[in-house]
Structure formats: C-alpha cells, structure tokens
C-alpha cells in the first residue's frame, strides 16, 4: 500500500533496487563478525569455576559466538550478491511474501472515487529546517548528545527542552516559538510529576 500512497523509498540500497551490493546488510554482517570475535575473545577469558561440571559460564557464549560468526558470513555473502527489488516498506515485505497478490493488488489498483477526502496531518506550513534527511538525522543526534551532556549540568528541564526542540525541528516543525512553549510545558509537567508526584529525583536547574 505504500506505493499506492506515494511514500518515499526506505533507507539505503533498497532505493536502487536491481542487484547491487546491499550496503546496510553488509555493514551489519561486519558488525556480526566483530561481535562474534569480541564474544569469543571474552569467552576465552572467562575462568571456569573450580570443581564445577563441564558447563561453565563460558559454554553458552562460545556457542553464541559461533552462531554470530556463521550468520555474519552468510549475511555477508547474501548482501554481496545483492538483493532483487525489495518493497520499499518493510511492513509490505511480509505482505508480499505471504500474500503477494494482496500487496500487488493494493499497489496497482487505482484508488476508488474518494468520498471522504484524506486530510494531511499537522499544518500545511513548510518546515523551518529544509535540509537533507542526513542533516535531519544529525540534528536529531545532536539533540540526544546535548541532552546527555546537559542533564547533569544544566538540569533536567533545560536538557529535555533542548532535546524536544531539536527533535521537533529535525522532524519538520514549522514554528519555533510554539515548539519551545509546548516543550517547556511538557518538561515542566514531567519534572514536577516526577519530583513532587512520584518522589523521584531529577536534576534541578543547574545540575545536582
């Protein structure tokens, strides 16, 4: 149904279709191999408890490391071979696999006369940040990092507000002032609900 509704392609190589190298899968395969090696090295350093049976704390990690390495190799091989055209939405993948006809039909069939006209969610105004998706991800990540750096120094409300505004901008918020106000209300409510209501400590203004 994603094709019918005109959703953009999902991330990564799927965009290209055909059978090029599947880069995300290849990266994941490398990660699996690294994890397998790290786990094996770690398992070899685990001391078996004295006088215990043959199954100590290292047996299961060894087995998991083996599975990681095997899956890493297989996934790597599969990703190098590339993938045939995949549905843009992973959600559709399941549909296509199990019931290809359903996916095809919903994608091909032109919409019937819409009686109830769909309305866009949110406002029609253009977003403040008009940048590439990669930059949006960077803004999002910056908000997360800033939050972690600020929470113990500037206090919870400031840190959470910075995060809220950064994420909202990354997701295309059109009005800065409104976002700041909504974020301030939310973070203040959370702060007082936690500290007064639940009696859990959150860092005060200016840190702990």
Partner 1 sequence: MDGFADLIGGFGAAVSPENLLWALIGVTLGTAVGVLPGIGPALTVALLLPLTFKLEATSSLIMFAGIYYGGMYGGSTTSILLNTPGESASIISALEGNKMARSGRGAAALATAAIGSFVAGTIATIGLSFVAPFMVDLALSFGPPEYFALMVVAFTTVAAVLGSSVLRGLVGLVIGVTIGLIGIDVQSGQARLTLGVPQLLDGVDVVIVVVGLFAVGEAITVLASGERRSTVTPAAGSRWLSRSDFRRSWRPWLRGTALGFPIGALPAGGAEIPTFLSYSAEKRLSKHPEEFGHGAIEGVAGPEAANNAAAAGVLVPLLALGLPTSATAAVILAGFQNYGIQPGPLLFSSNNALVWTLIASLYIGNVMLLVLNLPLVGIWVRLLQIPPYYLYAGIAVFATLGTYAIGGSTVDLMVLYAVGALGFLLRAADVPVAPAVVGLILGPLAEEQLRRSLAISQGDVSVLWSTPLCIALLVVAVAAIVLPPLARIAASNKATRSRDRVG
In the range 149-178, which residues lie near partner 1 by CB under 8 A? 149, 151-152, 160, 163-165, 167-173
Burial of 15 (0-12, 13-18, 19+ CB in 10 A): exposed
| Residue 40 interacting with partner 1 (CB under 8 A) | no
| Residue 105 interacting with partner 1 (CB under 8 A) | yes
Alpha carbon distance 158, 151 (integer Å): 8
Report the nearest approach of partner 1 to the CB of residue 70 (Å).
Answer: 9
| Residue 146 interacting with partner 1 (CB under 8 A) | no
| Residue 206 interacting with partner 1 (CB under 8 A) | no
3 state DSSP class of 65: helix
| Residue 93 interacting with partner 1 (CB under 8 A) | yes
Kindly state the tokens that stand for 160. Answer: 């959470």
| Residue 94 interacting with partner 1 (CB under 8 A) | yes
Q: What are phi and psi of 161, to 5 degrees?
A: -65, -45
Q: How does DSSP classify residue 116?
A: S
Residues 5-24 that bind partner 1 (CB under 8 A): 5, 7-12, 14, 22, 24
Among 119, 177, 196, 206, binds partner 1 (CB under 8 A): 119
Q: How does DSSP classify residue 115?
A: S
| Residue 205 interacting with partner 1 (CB under 8 A) | no
Q: Report helix angle 100-108 to 90-98, nearest 10.
A: 120
Among 33, 37, 64, 184, binds partner 1 (CB under 8 A): 64
């Amino acid at each position: 149904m994603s094709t019918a509704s005109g959703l953009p392609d999902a991330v990564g190589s799927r965009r290209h279709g055909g059978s090029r190298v599947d880069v995300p899968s290849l990266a994941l395969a490398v990660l699996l191999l690294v994890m397998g090696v790290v786990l094996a090295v770690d398992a070899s350093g685990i001391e078996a408890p004295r006088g215990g049976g043959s199954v100590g704390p290292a047996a299961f990690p060894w087995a998991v490391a083996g599975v990681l390495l095997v899956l890493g190799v297989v996934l790597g091989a599969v990703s190098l071979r590339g993938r045939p055209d995949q549905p843009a939405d992973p959600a559709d993948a399941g549909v296509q696999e199990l019931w290809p006809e359903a996916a095809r039909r919903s994608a091909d069939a032109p919409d019937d006369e819409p009686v109830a006209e769909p309305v866009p969610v949110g406002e029609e105004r253009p977003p403040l940040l008009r940048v590439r998706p990669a930059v949006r991800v960077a803004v999002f990540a910056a908000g997360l990092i800033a939050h972690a750096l600020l929470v113990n120094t500037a206090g919870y409300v400031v840190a959470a507000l910075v995060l809220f505004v950064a994420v909202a901008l990354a997701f295309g918020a059109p009005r800065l002032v409104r976002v700041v106000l909504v974020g301030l209300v939310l973070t203040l409510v959370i702060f007082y609900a936690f500290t007064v209501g639940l009696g859990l400590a959150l860092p005060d203004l200016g840190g702990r």
